[in-house]
Structures are given as structure tokens and as C-alpha cells.
Amino acid sequence: MQYGRAVGSAVAVVGLRREFGGRRGQPVVTALKDVNLQIPEGEIHGLLGPNGAGKTTLCKILSTVLLPTRGSVEICGYDVESETAAVRRLIGIVFGGERGLYTRLTARGNLEFWASLYGLSGTQSQRRVGQLLERLGLDQRADTRVETFSRGMKQRLHLARGLIGDPRVLILDEPTTGMDPVAAQEFRTLVTSLQTEGRTILVTTHDMAEAEAICDRVTLIDHGSVLATERPSTLGRWITRYARVRASGLLPAQVAPVTAALSGLDGVATVHEVAEGTLLVDTAADGAAPAVMRLLLDLGITDVATTRPDLAEVYLRVIGNRGMRVDR
Ligand SMILES: Nc1ncnc2c1ncn2[C@@H]1O[C@H](COP(=O)(O)OP(=O)(O)OP(=O)(O)O)[C@@H](O)[C@H]1O
Ligand SMILES: [Mg+2]
């Protein structure tokens, strides 16, 4: 494969801001504030954040569908604004959902159509489409209309579409939404195999488990700001560090002494009685939750359960602890 300009970063985003609205008295919505992001070639990078965080907006800017309001964005050294054509040759985009598929056409018909848009000749197109249908496990259904496909099959067809141009950088916006766990697992295996071919992959997700399973690094984004870029193992550690223990069935006389004993343990952040005889213990250190469990069992309290905080809480607590502010 010959890709042109040799550079280190597949994606380089500096000081990116994107606003919407502002015309005819409309309010201005700032979808991205001051985003900086470097993704080296060959990395699977996760973009993780709640609804409205700015993930899709960022994907659209990287794929030249939207322009930045301010800041610079390069794909393999090419600027998305001034070198749009070069960027388009390098990227493949997979946006989830139904849009963009011609449901009256067959899977093969769809792919051949997109291949023609990429300027592939008849034989090249046939070969490439055949390979992709097989690779995505769609060869058995290649000649049936897409309207009969399940969501998971449509998602795989979307991915095949994203791969038609043999992209160096693949942008996947929530690719496994609507897939059952088996299909999602197959999809992840496939994404990993695309990485081994040297491609760089940016994948947005709401799902921490998905991010942990496939990503080399993950960027947490919320309200248009990047909160942190970390390895998924670090995020996993944060999540266990901030585990929460619920103990139920305490007798009224036990509540005060048990609360005092728990509060004295290292790594216990707070202990609250959330209902009569039920304590909720928030921890904030590695190993604190198991110590809480042990103490409770020693005290004869056996109705105990641990829960993991969700990502939004992890953002707030970890990022808060690091002295960064999360706008709420
Ligand atoms: N075309 C638009 N016009 C006005 N506001 C927009 C537009 N597109 C996005 N926004 C706003 O920008 C913010 C970020 O939206 P975006 O779709 O990027 O979030 P997201 O992280 O992809 O969310 P989700 O997880 O729901 O897909 C939201 O407040 C959204 O309402
Ligand atoms: Mg989105």
C-alpha cells in the first residue's frame, strides 16, 4: 500500500472548537470546546462519553463532513479544510443506524455502488466487493435485499462500506449499537484484525466494556471537552477504585457502630444510611472495597453487595480529584 506523506500521527487535533447555530437569533451551541487529540498510526482509539458529549461532531469533522469553527485537524498530515480530497482518500467512515444504506438494493448492489463512487473499475470492484462480503460474513446473503437484514447485518454492511476505499484511518461512530453480544464480539475481532493491517481506528462508544476490550487508549469526552486520554486498564482501575458497597439488614443498634468502624478504614470516602438499616459505602482507593466487605462479614452483616460506578461518576470523581473541572 502506498499512502503518500509520511507522518507520525494518524489524527492530530489542535485547539478544535465547533459551534452550531447563532444565526437569526438562534442560540449558539458549542459542541466542541478546545479539543486536543493525537492518535498515532496503528492505534485503536476509543472516544467515550455520554449523549451530547460531542463524539459524533468530532467524527464528522475528522471525516470532512463538517468544518471546524476554529483549530486545526489533520489526518496523516493532511488538513481537513485545505486538503479535503486527500483526507477523503485516506478515511473510511461508519456511522451507525439505518441511514446511508439502499434498502431496496442487495448488499452486493450497495457495495458496488459505493465502489463506483470510489472510482474502482468493474473487475476491481467485483473483487473488492466479493472480498468484503466474505470478510464481513455477508456472502451467504450478498444477493438479498438489505431491507430484509437484521440490524447487526446492516451494521456489518456499513463497515464493509467504510472499507471499500481501503482506508488508512477508519472512523466508527457507535458501530455495535443494536448488535447482539455475539455479533458485537465478532465485530470487535474484526476491528482488531483491521488494526493488524496497519490501519488506525477511532471508535466511539458509550460502552466501557467495549472500550476495555479493544482500545489501546481511550479519550473521555463530555460537554465538548476532553477530560482525559488514558489506557483502558487505567479506566478499569479507576472504576474498581471507586466501587461502592451496599450493606442491608442492619439492626438499629448496629448502624452507628458499624458506620464508625467503616469510616475508620483506609480508602473509605463516605458512609451513608440511605434507608433504614441500609448503608452505602463509597470507596476511593485500590483494595478498599474488599476490605469493607471483609469488615462487614466479620461484624456478622451478610447482606452485602458491591456495585461499580458508571463512567459519568468516574469522570466526576477522578477528574474532580485531579483538580480539573467538569461543567455540569
Ligand atoms: N447540526 C447541529 N445543530 C445544532 N446543534 C448540534 C448539531 N449537531 C450536534 N449538535 C449539538 O452538539 C452537541 C454534541 O452533539 P453530538 O451529536 O456530537 O454528541 P454525541 O457525543 O455524538 O452524542 P450521542 O452519544 O447522543 O450520539 C449536542 O449538544 C448537540 O445537540
Ligand atoms: Mg453521536
Percent residues over pLDDT 90 in the chain: 65
Helices 151-163 and 107-117, axial angle in degrees (round to 10): 20
When pLDDT is averaged across residues 211-225 and rounded to a whole number, the result is 89
What are 37-68's pLDDT values in tens digits?
999 999 999 998 888 899 999 999 999 999 99
Residue nearest to atom 4 of ligand 1 (CA): 20
- The residue ranking higher by pLDDT, 318 or 257, is 257
CA separation for the pair 13, 8 (Å, rounded): 13
What are 120-143's pLDDT values in tens digits?
889 999 999 999 999 998 999 999
CA separation for the pair 224, 283 (Å, rounded): 29
Q: How confident is the model at residue 24 (pLDDT cuts 50, 70, 90)?
A: confident
Assess whether pLDDT exceeds 70 at residue 328: no
Dihedral (Cα; 326, 310, 187, 229), 10-degree rounding = 30
Q: How confident is the model at residue 286 (pLDDT cuts 50, 70, 90)?
A: confident
Assess whether pLDDT exceeds 60 at residue 7: no
Q: How confident is the model at residue 270 (pLDDT cuts 50, 70, 90)?
A: very high
Angle at 175 between CA 174 and CA 181, to 5 degrees: 105
pLDDT of residue 3: 46
Q: How confident is the model at residue 233 (pLDDT cuts 50, 70, 90)?
A: confident
Q: How confident is the model at residue 316 (pLDDT cuts 50, 70, 90)?
A: low
Helix ranges, 54-136 (H) = 55-62, 84-90, 107-117, 122-135
Task: Report every protein residue that has its C-beta within 5 angstroms of ion ligand 2.
Answer: 55-56
- How close is the Cα of 237 to the center of ligand 2, in Å? 26
pLDDT of residue 243: 87
Q: Does the C-beta of 51 come closer than 6 Å to ligand 1?
A: yes
Cα–Cα distances in angstroms (integers) from residue 322 to residues 227, 228, 232, 244, 270, in the given order: 10, 10, 18, 20, 19
pLDDT of residue 307: 86
Range among 32-41, 180-189, 200-209, 214-223 with highest mean pLDDT value: 32-41
pLDDT of residue 113: 93
Q: Does the C-beta of 96 come closer than 6 Å to ligand 1?
A: no
When pLDDT is averaged across residues 221-229 and rounded to a whole number, the result is 89
Assess whether pLDDT exceeds 70 at residue 241: yes
Amino acid at 99: R
Assess whether pLDDT exceeds 50 at residue 28: yes
Assess whether pLDDT exceeds 90 at residue 144: yes
Q: How confident is the model at residue 182 (pLDDT cuts 50, 70, 90)?
A: confident
* Residue 158 backbone class (left: φ over 0; alpha: ψ -120 to 50; beta: rest): alpha
CB-based burial label for 97 (10 Å; 0-12, 13-18, 19+): middle
Range among 150-154, 192-196, 212-216, 234-238 with highest mean pLDDT value: 192-196
What is the reported pTM? 0.81
pLDDT of residue 117: 87
- How close is the Cα of 66 to the center of ligand 2, in Å? 14
When pLDDT is averaged across residues 287-293 and rounded to a whole number, the result is 94
Select from 28, 29, 205 the residue to mutate for testing ligand 1; criterion: most ligand atoms less than 8 Å from CB. Answer: 29
Helix ranges, the chain (H) = 55-62, 84-90, 107-117, 122-135, 151-163, 181-196, 208-214, 232-241, 252-263, 288-298, 311-314, 320-321
Select from 24, 56, 93, 315 the residue to mutate for testing ligand 1; criterion: most ligand atoms less than 8 Å from CB. Answer: 56
